Amino acid sequence: MEENSPSGPPWSAEVRTDCPVALPAQAWIEGSMRWFIEQFGRQAALGQVALLVPDFLPAAYTGTPEQVEALVFRIRDLMSVDASQRLIVRHFDGSDEALRGGRRTVGHYQEENGQAIIALDEREAADAAFLTAIIAHELGHVRLLGERRLDHDRRDHERLTDLLTIYLGFGVFTANAALSFSTTARNWSVQPRGYLSEQTLHGAHNDGYARLGYLSEPEFGYALACYAWLRGESAPPWAAHLDPGPRGLLRQGLAYLAGCAPQGEFPTLAGSGRISISVVPRMRSSAISFLILVFGEYERRLHSQPTWPVTGVRPRCQ
């Protein structure tokens, strides 16, 4: 717990006002959002927020290859991927793939002869919301790697790709897909309270859940708060479409930002208290970017949080 965490019982319904993430993650998220503004323009964050509403999916969607391809190109247009650039969509069946270290690949991006190729695991096709999160991540690679805004050598490029899905309007899908529980089959959900997380309330600290992507649920929640803050939304209507975990973290993040920074600005980037963070290149890089689904008992080992050098201290808030 942080020093400014509220007192009281861990199940308190009061919205917390401390930052949902540690200082290095906060500085990285806020700095990356500022970089997105420079790269894509602020207007890109002010567009339509993609939601799983009836007119979003192809008619009578069942996950056929034709419907999946139509969905890819709808998401491509909403994420403003250059339509003149040829995009190849491949399907693979990973059912014969051994579950290596509690994880399996559900999508990947690569380039061949200057053409962008995204590959999708056809086993995920029937779940339109989950598949949309995968597609948005892979198309994020097109916008970052394919458009030569960064390269594979950047240590945080996968995390930055997850973050870009939020900035380009697909954060509801990627945040909801970030953490899924086997108990959802029981048709009930939980609302996190105080210091009781979704994993605690689901009784799923070591198993019974799976994680998609490279950001933690608190990081998704705070990034969504920063996105809403940029859009001038103190109570975003699209928050109703989030699962309870990221929705609670979004509310916490907005409460923190409201007490720490003017609308549309970020605490770690403001005034003389500006915080800097260093992201170093990776020792090894790959020409293929993989999106991995990790199962609960292996998550801690495979998704340890990066520790980047940070200069500065967290700003004092009201």
Residue 92 lies in a domain: yes
Neighbouring CB atoms inside 10 A of 23's CB total: 16
How many whole angstroms separate alpha carbon 229 and alpha carbon 231?
Answer: 5
- Please say if the pLDDT value at position 115 is more than 70: yes
Q: What is the mean pLDDT of residues 5-15?
A: 55
CA–CA distance from 8 to each of 60, 77, 201, 228 (Å)?
Answer: 49, 47, 18, 28
Residue 230 lies in a domain: yes
Measured at the CA of 99, the angle between CA 96 and CA 105, to 5 degrees, comes to: 80
Residue 2 DSSP SS3:
coil
pLDDT at 301: 43
CA 287 to chain centroid, in Å, comes to: 22
pLDDT at 186: 42
Question: In the chain, how many domains are there?
Answer: 1
- Please say if the pLDDT value at position 69 is more than 80: yes
How many whole angstroms separate alpha carbon 40 and alpha carbon 35?
Answer: 8
How many whole angstroms separate alpha carbon 64 and alpha carbon 118?
Answer: 17
pLDDT in tens, 169-228: 999 999 999 987 554 444 444 444 444 445 444 443 444 557 788 999 999 999 999 999
| Maximum CA extent, the chain | 59
How many whole angstroms separate alpha carbon 46 and alpha carbon 228?
Answer: 9
Q: Which domain holds residue 148?
A: 23-311
Most confident range, picked from 130-144, 262-276, 277-291: 130-144
Tokens, residue 261: 């920074």
Residue 73 lies in a domain: yes
Residue 118 DSSP SS3:
strand
Residue 316 lies in a domain: no
Confidence category of residue 314, pLDDT binned at 50, 70, 90: confident
Residues 6+ apart with CB under 8 A from 194: 6, 8, 9, 10, 11, 12, 13, 14, 16
Residue 187 lies in a domain: yes
Residue 225 lies in a domain: yes
Q: Which of 267, 281, 238 is nearest to 45 (CA)?
A: 238
